[in-house]
């Protein structure tokens, strides 16, 4: 949910997101954990939503470059701090309210990205297996040669892929290929993503960010309203699609999590049988 913001107000607000603003009005948003590749945890998940809200509310920027750090875009998962009473009693009020909060952040993340009103260039600097819809909502998607896309966080780990994967992937690669990816956890390489139209260019890792800046500087030469209204034009259909199905997917995902939640194991598929009590000892 956006409000009017300014670079000076949010540039140092987030531990996992580094911001840089060029003289041309190009904003770099770089994901990281302690200067290395982003390790997903609940804070990074929730703060990304808030960070995109700040970017969306900044009416002085002209182009956004969104990228990661190091070897991976975000192909790592930091298991949340385990609150045993919450996960033992997922049917209770505390567990239910926590799940609802995470679903709300998941919905706001998509809505806030789509509220960004300037062209967005995504530079996927390596493997992306969690929330791959985030960079793929860019207008120009670049990928390094070693990048791949995957939805490892949901069905392979015992959860419904309702965080927007079910909306975006069928639009990018076709319904049958998308269902196969989501059910099997298949890795879509950068070259495969290029062939099916999910990314625009595949580049050596060392040249990826330079190419993003080259494109951004060319875009930034256009009048500000042309930039903003073009992004609005491009995102209108996506907003309709997510309005129709995002809340539905999150509702299915959240409800199913009351039966099973993969509390450990990082990104390991099915860290335990779904009907096994992880706290039985």
- Give the strand pairing for 140-144 and 201-203: parallel
**Helix count (H) and strand count (E) of the chain?**
10, 8
Q: Which of 23, 24, 60, 133 is catalytic?
A: 133
What is the torsion angle, in degrees rounded to the nearest 10, for the CA atoms of residue 246, residue 248, residue 252 and residue 253? 10
Q: How far apart are CA 136 and CA 39, in angstroms?
A: 19
What would the two tokens of residue 23 be? 């003289």
133 counts as catalytic: yes
- Give the strand pairing for 63-67 and 26-31: parallel
Q: How far apart are CA 126 and CA 111, in angstroms?
A: 25
Residues taking part in catalysis: 133
């Amino acid at each position: 949910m956006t409000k009017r913001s300014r670079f000076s107000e949010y540039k140092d607000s987030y531990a996992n997101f580094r911001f840089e603003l060029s003289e041309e009005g190009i904003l770099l948003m770089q994901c990281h954990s302690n200067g290395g590749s982003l390790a997903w945890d609940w804070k990074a998940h929730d703060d990304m939503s808030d960070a995109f809200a700040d970017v969306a509310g900044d009416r002085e920027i002209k182009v956004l470059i969104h990228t990661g750090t190091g070897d991976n875009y975000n192909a790592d998962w930091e298991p949340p701090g385990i609150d045993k009473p919450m996960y033992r009693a997922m049917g209770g009020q505390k567990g239910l309210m926590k799940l609802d909060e995470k679903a709300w952040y998941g919905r706001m993340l998509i809505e806030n990205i789509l509220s960004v009103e300037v062209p967005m260039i995504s530079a996927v600097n390596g493997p992306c297996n969690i929330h791959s819809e985030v960079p793929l909502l860019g207008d120009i998607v670049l990928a390094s040669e070693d990048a791949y896309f995957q939805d490892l966080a949901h069905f392979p780990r015992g959860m419904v892929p309702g965080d927007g994967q079910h909306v975006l992937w069928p639009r990018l690669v076709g319904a049958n290929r998308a269902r196969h990816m989501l059910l099997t956890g298949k890795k879509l390489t950068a070259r495969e993503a290029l062939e099916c139209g999910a990314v625009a260019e595949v580049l050596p890792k060392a040249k990826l960010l330079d190419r993003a800046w080259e494109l951004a500087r060319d875009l930034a030469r256009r009048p500000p309203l042309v930039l903003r209204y073009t992004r609005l034009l491009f995102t209108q259909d996506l907003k309709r699609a997510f309005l129709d199905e995002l809340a539905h997917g999150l509702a299915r995902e959240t409800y199913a999590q009351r039966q099973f939640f993969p509390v450990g194991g990082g990104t390991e598929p099915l860290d335990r049988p779904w009907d096994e009590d992880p706290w039985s000892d």
